[in-house]
Structure 1
Amino acid sequence: MSTENETRRPVTIITGGGRGIGRAISERLVAAGHDLAITYRERGADAEAVAESLRAAGADVLVLPCDLGDAEQAASVIPAVLEHFGSFTGLVNNAGITGRIGGFLELDPEESRGVFAVNDLAPIIMSQQAIAHMAVNRGGAGGAIVNISSGAATTGAPETYIPYAMSKAALDAMTLGLAKEFGPYGVRINTVSPGTTHTEIHASAGRPNAPAERAPRIPMRRAGEPDEVAGAVAFLLGPDASYISGANIRVAGGN
């Protein structure tokens, strides 16, 4: 049994792992030798197609439908992962929603409730379960969590999506608190904060051309690509980041 554990591939959970930044993270981690559990909320056929390509690269990939805005569904992910893999070594709280782009006075409070449910409550639930499994003082073998935040957490996103920015600032605070509370028990928690990146999230928010519109105001004069974010995540989950916890890597082109 000990030999099996020593040679076993790392297992990482990625919420929203079939699209956009989540897909890029999935592909990068499989290339680094991870097996994966990925969740999706919609477009299950697309998620399965991504999983098949990852399996063809040699990974064991578990695909789980989950609406992370539903607390009960969010709480079901890690038990399913444990049933399939027996254990896991990492969690990437990637899935997130912005709400509609627009001014603060026009926002819908119920939509904002959904933003906080997905962007904050789900990561709380999943991080709590993950740490309970990984912490060495509870019999675990240690592990790492990466929270995908946003550059908006420090700009406030005026006239764009202030509740989204608020939700990501809260996620940043969770990273700091968890890193300090569970560092003594072998669990590292870090954040990656993308700036404007070429994904479908902008279309979902009602402004599909947002990356091109914002590019002139970005010091590097372009939006980012999902794989550029994925590289930072893979680093934080890898051995070269073994003494990094409570950090926030900003992948925002200089913003």
Structure 2
Amino acid sequence: MATDRVMVITGGSRGIGASTALLAAKAGYRVVVNYASNAQAAEDIVGQIEALGSKAIAVKGDVASEADIIALFEAADSFGQLSALINNAGVILHPMPVVDMTAERIEKSFRINVLGSYLCAREAIKRMARSRGGAGGAIINLTSAAAKLGSPKENVDYAGTKGAIDTFTVGLAKEVAMEGIRVCAVRPGIIDTEIHASGGQPDRLQRVVPTLTMQRAGTAEEVAKAIMWLASDDAAYSTGAILDVSGGRAILP
């Protein structure tokens, strides 16, 4: 199913972003795979998408940088009509209590996880809004069960960024509904991706899985399927919705 619809996926070279990119290609989107540093991983995803008969490009850019975000969306402009933005890029830093956190660490968390999502949404709205000549579209944010649980003694800064994304999702959904833009979010729990190792906790799954309601971690594809449903016309009457894909984790105390 070939179309000219374009989906931009930040952090699209690995984990949930990569799984979403592959599902988007199967759904007929042209995919813009944003990545921060691992060009080979991004090109691998592009190659897999092209093997499916769809089109994709890899665009390097740090979502903590406004200039990089603007360049990302300018690259997408030459690829077709922007139809969906997946605000997936994020960072979780090494665990520590708040009392030991530096201002630089906290700022890094918020620049990547919050400011990046705001600025990407801004650029997407410029292209999607009906009042600006756009055809509408969907913005799907990635939040986390940490927004409800708080991540005490480990990643309260990360949890705070995701709480901000929850509020951002609801407010922006109301702001742009009449522009033909739906804004929703997916709230993953413990997902089996490399984010745990990159955040300094390579053994986190082994430690946490026994405490989970379903006694297993989720997969990147399970989250990606939720993202794709919210981005699709099947969810046409859903905006401001935050969908838990956490195996019950977000309802626990």
Unaligned ranges ≥5, structure 2: none
What residue in structure 2 maps to residue 137 of structure 1? 131
Give the root-mean-square deviation of aligned CA atoms: 1.1
**Equivalent position amino acid for 1:33 in 2:** G
What residue in structure 2 maps to residue 56 of structure 1? 51
Please show how residues 216-227 of structure 1 align to structure 2 within 5 Å: 216-227=210-221
**Equivalent position amino acid for 2:180 in 1:** G
Unaligned ranges ≥5, structure 1: 1-6
Q: CA deviation at 1:90?
A: 0.4
Whether the 8 Å CA contact 2:30–2:79 is kept in 1: the answer is no
**Equivalent position amino acid for 2:175 in 1:** E
Alignment pair present for 1:69 and 2:67: no
Whether the 8 Å CA contact 2:4–2:80 is kept in 1: the answer is no
Summarize deviations over 1:198-225 as a string: whole Å, max 9, x none: 1111111111111121112210011111
Paired with 1:105 and 1:204, the residues of 2 have a C-alpha distance of 22
- With structure 1 as the length reference, what TM-score do the two structures score? 0.94
User: Which of 190, 194, 198 is the equivalent residue of 1:196?
Assistant: 190
What residue in structure 1 maps to residue 18 of structure 2? 23
Alignment pair present for 1:104 and 2:95: no
What residue in structure 2 maps to residue 8 of structure 1? 3
- With structure 2 as the length reference, what TM-score do the two structures score? 0.95
Q: CA deviation at 1:136?
A: 1.0
What residue in structure 1 maps to residue 32 of structure 2? 37
Q: Percent identity of the aligned residues?
A: 36
Summarize deviations over 1:60-80 as a string: whole Å, max 9, x none: 101101112222212221111
Please show how residues 82-161 of structure 1 align to structure 2 within 5 Å: 82=77, 84-161=78-155
Q: CA deviation at 1:93?
A: 0.3
Summarize deviations over 1:119-159 as a string: whole Å, max 9, x none: 11111111011112111122111100000111101111101
Give 3-state SS (helix, strand or coil) of 1:85's partner. coil
Paired with 1:185 and 1:67, the residues of 2 have a C-alpha distance of 28
Summarize deviations over 1:152-194 as a string: whole Å, max 9, x none: 0111110110000000111111110110011111000000010
Summarize deviations over 1:104-128 as a string: whole Å, max 9, x none: 2222320221111111111111101
Whether the 8 Å CA contact 1:28–1:230 is kept in 2: the answer is yes
User: Which of 69, 81, 91 is the equivalent residue of 2:76?
Assistant: 81
Paired with 2:159 and 2:58, the residues of 1 have a C-alpha distance of 29
Whether the 8 Å CA contact 1:44–1:65 is kept in 2: the answer is yes
What residue in structure 1 maps to residue 158 of structure 2? 164
Give 3-state SS (helix, strand or coil) of 1:89's partner. strand
State the aligned residue count: 248
